[in-house]
Amino acid sequence: MTSSYPSSRLRRVRSSEWSRNLVRENRVTVNDLIWPLFINDGHSDIEAIPSMPGVFRYSVDKVIEQVKLAKSLGISCVALFPNTPADRRSDDGKEALNSDNLMNRAIKAIKDAVPDIGIAADVALDPYTSHGQDGLVKDGLILNDETIEILVQQALVQAKSGADIIAPSDMMDGRVDAIRYGLDLDGFENTQIMSYAVKYASAFYGPFRDAVGSSGTLKGDKKTYQLDPANAQEGLREAEQDISEGADSIIIKPGMPYLDMITRVKETFQMPTYAYQVSGEYSMVMAAVENGWLDKDAVMMESLLSFKRAGADGIWTYFALDVAKHLNG
């Protein structure tokens, strides 16, 4: 007997929960998560960040409690961003090299208190410069090679403090090569480099700049070093460059507006590839959640799943703790 009905019924496997569970292609797990945390220079201090509802700046003693919680819920790695006191910011950002700066104190304290969680340290000068740029500025230009010399020192100080992953977010050309060489020379051949290779000059970073206190100070934009949002091939060349210089893994940033780049980078290079769901993406979701327009848990999980489906191995997200709690039921 022939039927005029469809011979292939795609709905068949969707018809029950157990079957949907069985055929599911991608999953978000706690192992996928990298949790970015903001640090302040206070004591027993937790400060709200108005443009990122639910995200806080923690003093070093308080951040330890958060990292312990993260570890107990199975989160793989935390990433640290300091809100450097204004009087420690300067034109040359030399506070970045202070082994006792806020960042390095936080790394050491976390390493001591929670030894088995990964610590990623951001390498760039923007939390330390009075102009908010990621590199040295001369006559309005961001200097490439002179900046790299400082970034290598910054990475070394962070590695000595106990950072497991060095994450250069500055977008200078050649910095992965220089940092790798500097780390190896000092005996840090096992310190990973996770490079923000495909980082766009995005308007989605606004709330982050509030969080680290550089939004008021930033002069100009970052378009001479971060990628043009219009460009995909150039993004692949950035990834290729960093991989050839020794990057262990690659970050695509922002996340949801650049899912195409996650897929292309993963398919082209087959490297460990991470999505960074940036501050503005988080804030957009939370603004809608606070208005009662979106369901927080559902949208959070769907957004992270989209990164896995696109090909990401893991995700930097401000939702990490909420996700871990959700997954731990």
Dist. CA 212–CA 124, nearest whole Å:
12
CB 245 within 8 A of CB 176: yes
Structure tokens at 148: 């790299």
Question: CB nearest ligand PBG: which residue?
Answer: 208
Closer residue to ligand PBG (CB): 13 or 141: 141
Residue listed under structure tokens 């100070």: 217
Asked if 223 is an active-site residue, the reply is: no
In the complex, the residues that contact ligand PBG under the rule CB under 6 A are 122, 124, 126, 134, 169, 205, 208-209, 222, 278-279
d(CA 191, CA 193): 7
Query: What is the distance between the alpha carbons of residues 66 and 79, in angstroms, rounded to a whole number?
Result: 12
Catalytic residue among 71, 108, 253, 266: 253
Question: Distance between CA 139 and CA 268 in Å, rounded?
Answer: 38
Of 108, 199, 222, 266, the active-site residue reads 199
- C-beta separation of 288 from 306 below 8 A: no
Residues 6+ apart with CB under 8 A from 64: 109, 110, 113, 114
The question of whether 62 is a catalytic residue gets the answer: no
Q: How far is the CB of 322 from ligand PBG (least distance, A)?
A: 16
Minimum Å gap between C-beta 153 and ligand PBG is: 16
Q: Which is nearer to ligand PBG, 57 or 222 (CB)?
A: 222
- Per the CB < 8 A criterion, the answer to whether 38 and 56 are in contact is yes
Q: Closer to ligand PBG at the Cβ: 59 or 283?
A: 283
**Which of residues 89 and 222 has its CB atom nearest to ligand PBG in the complex?**
222
Least Å distance between CB 133 and ligand PBG? 9
CB 75 within 8 Å of CB 35:
yes
**Residue 238 assigned as binding residue:** yes
Instruction: Please state the closest distance from residue 202 (CB atom) to ligand PBG, in A.
Output: 8
CA angle, residues 125, 128, 131, in degrees to nearest 5: 85
Binding-site entries: 238
- Active-site amino acid positions: 199, 253
Binding-site entries for Mg(2+): 238
